[in-house]
Structure 1
Amino acid sequence: MLTYKTYLSVLFLSITLALTGCKSSKTISEGDKNFRLSAKQLIKENARKSPDFKTLQSKLKITYSEGEKRHSHTVSYRMQKDEVLWMSATFGVIRAKITPKTVAFYNKLDNTYFEGDFEYFSKLLGTDLNFERVQNIILGEALFNLKDESYKVSVHEGSYLLQPKNQRTLFEIFFLLNPSHYKVKSQQLSQITEQRHLQIDYLTHQEVDTQVLPEHIKVIAVEGTDEMIAELEFKSVSLNEDLRFPFKIPSGFKKIEL
């Protein structure tokens, strides 16, 4: 059974994706590699590949491990771009909904619910989170807008390496971009003084109705000696269908504090 920490952590680490089994989708293979782009050209090409759709739905297989414990679950996943992220376990026994203002979920197995903001998850991953950044992780976009500052580019182990010309005071961030389709291959955020490290690896991408989306994502969150790993596999993906996002906390449920 999904624990609160597992379910909510994975909700944001979904922040880890694999989109397979859809008739209109195909895995993107490695094409010709182009290492001749400047940082500005690379950022421009990456922006051109940003997904453009209204809604997405799929079956989402979540694999989550912490220490020696490993769990795997499948849930229904839906999103309305820029507005709602929604997940529901079998028969709706556990359901979650995220909007730009709120984070909420309920559990019919023990009649409890949570309703709050992004503070808990920011502490969990060691970086400030909001709806836009959570959505960016899910869609394979950079955590921070690459157009907001100056970057320098180099080649590292067969990928483009983007890093700010002036790293932030509180943390360092690096982006690896694919030299074939220019999507983010990995993004890594480190807080050395806090012994925190967040790494989001996009192992493969796929094309769904002309949109380039993550196919398999792996997220590793480290704090001190503790390590949490989450992977997601999205199956039977479809875009731009009319979707509902039903969510109502049943009466009589007890609110939990995280």
Structure 2
Amino acid sequence: MKSSIFIIIAALAVSSCAVQKKQTEAPVSTTKPIENNAEFFSSIAKKSSFDAVKINSRIDAKTGSFIPTLDAVIYIENGQKIWMNLTAVILQAARGVATPQGIKAYNRLDKTYIDSDFSYLNKLLNVNFIDYNAMQNLLTGKTFLPVSDDKFRLTTNASGFNLVSKEAQKITENGKTVSYNIALDYDKDLNLNHVLLTNPQNNDQLDITYSNREILNNESFPKNVKIIIKANKTTEILIENTKFDFSRMETAYAVPANYTKTEIK
């Protein structure tokens, strides 16, 4: 299956859409570290309270090869399931579902499918820590990385708050350990605006920007998200979330006959 399609599924369309201006550097702190760090870390760790949300999106991806603009329906049942359907023009292009057990998806354009744990998504995003909860938080604009007061330096600035790892953070999953320098920016309402992860060994980066937030059902959702994956090549995923609906829906998923499984390498 063409990896470009599943980068979009994984990153969901992971998330977002044309941000007008990319923030290339974390804002410089203009004040001393805030005093009540415990309240900050407790607030950003709060779990989503919605039961289910359906998000209509438009996705553009830049991978070095042509991918048409895609219309997407992303449906999330909190803590249980992320279902996605992608359409190119008027043709269904791909469908996928993620649960705490792993990821399944098929691509109608080349009649292939995947059935994997989250190692597939981690490979696409060039990281090693994504599981179901991290994926849901990433898509909905919440903190998706492990952060703590003893390992991060918290400061305030004109825009809100800046959180930077004191040293490279080692994250071990499935026997694999990777170090990341991590910087996160939050607005004054403690909404996540920007995440930058850098691997100090090779300077690979995962750069995510959330913008144009809207308060719905007493929770903040980003209408625009920009994901940039920098490794041997640069992949850019832009998603515009155009509509939110909090009613439940049916989420059919079945791989059509005669599709070929793509093995994870």
Counterparts in 2 of 1:85 and 1:4: CA distance versus 1, 3 Å: farther
Q: 2:24 aligns to what?
A: none
Tell me if 1:118 matches 2:118.
yes
Tell me if 1:234 matches 2:241.
yes
Aligned-pair identity (%): 17
Query: Contact 2:34/2:154 (CA < 8 Å) preserved in 1?
Result: no
Deviation at 1:46, TM superposition (A): 2.8
What does 1:188-227 align with in structure 2 at a 5 Å threshold? 188-224=196-232, 226-227=233-234
Q: 1:87 aligns to what?
A: 84
Tell me if 1:40 matches 2:48.
no
Number of matched pairs: 237
TM-score when normalising by structure 2: 0.79
Residue ranges of structure 2 left out of the alignment (5+ in a row): 18-30, 171-178
RMSD: 2.5
SS in structure 1 of the partner of residue 258 of structure 2:
coil
Query: Contact 1:100/1:131 (CA < 8 Å) preserved in 2?
Result: yes
Residues 140-186 of structure 1 show CA distances to partners (whole Å, capped at 9, x for unaligned) of: 1112243585432124563411123443142111111112x111111
Q: 2:173 aligns to what?
A: none
Query: Contact 1:39/1:151 (CA < 8 Å) preserved in 2?
Result: no
Tell me if 1:173 matches 2:182.
yes
CA distance in 2, matches of 1:12, 1:230: 11
Tell me if 1:248 matches 2:257.
no
Query: Contact 2:96/2:104 (CA < 8 Å) preserved in 1?
Result: yes
Deviation at 1:69, TM superposition (A): 4.6
Q: 2:63 aligns to what?
A: 66
**Which has the higher relative contact order, 1 or 2, with Cα contacts under 8 A spaced 6 or more apart?**
1
Residues 216-247 of structure 1 show CA distances to partners (whole Å, capped at 9, x for unaligned) of: 111111014x11111111222111x1221110
For 2:73, the aligned partner's letter is S
SS in structure 2 of the partner of residue 205 of structure 1:
strand
CA distance in 2, matches of 1:216, 1:252: 37
User: 120-129 or 191-200, which moves further after superposition?
Assistant: 120-129
